[in-house]
């Protein structure tokens, strides 16, 4: 005997099938990206943007429907895909940031730039 799904279960099945459709599409995009490693950077950037967009949209759908695990993974993968085409341009600072030498005046480089000295 076959049991019928409740409306909530049917909606969950549709949601999961939508996730699977998105994953299949992203898989095709990743395979295309892999086969075009030596392509012009415009094509690679375009593919990475498409992958990031698909995963970001999947993340949003997962967040609104309460599927947190899928949302977390899709979000992390979206960030990685967004950085994928720009590997040669890393905007994050490397190492420690420079700290001002004096707190008397922002931008002061040396003690003599900090302000007038007191005469003794």
Token pair 């994928």 in the structure block, residue? 84
> Angle 23-29-34 (CA atoms, 0-180°, nearest 5)?
125
Query: Considering the entire predicted model, what is its pTM?
Result: 0.65
Q: Under a CB-based contact definition with an 8 Å cutoff, are residues 55 and 47 in contact?
A: no
Q: Under a CB-based contact definition with an 8 Å cutoff, are residues 48 and 85 in contact?
A: yes
Q: Under a CB-based contact definition with an 8 Å cutoff, are residues 51 and 69 in contact?
A: no
* Tokens at 117, concatenated: 């000295």
What would the pLDDT profile of 56-106 be if each residue is shown by its tens digit? 999 999 999 998 899 999 999 999 998 875 554 444 554 555 555 555 555
Q: Under a CB-based contact definition with an 8 Å cutoff, are residues 47 and 91 in contact?
A: no
């Amino acid at each position: 005997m076959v049991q019928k799904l409740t409306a909530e279960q049917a909606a969950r099945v549709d949601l999961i099938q939508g996730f699977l459709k998105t994953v299949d599409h992203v898989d095709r995009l990743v395979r295309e990206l892999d086969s075009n490693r030596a392509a012009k950077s415009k094509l690679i950037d375009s593919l990475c943007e498409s992958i990031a967009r698909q995963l970001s949209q999947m993340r949003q759908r997962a967040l609104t429907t309460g599927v947190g695990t899928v949302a977390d993974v899709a979000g992390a993968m979206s960030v990685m895909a967004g950085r994928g085409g720009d590997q040669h341009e890393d905007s994050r600072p490397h190492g420690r940031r420079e700290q001002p030498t004096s707190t008397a005046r922002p931008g002061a480089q040396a003690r003599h730039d900090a302000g007038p000295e007191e005469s003794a």
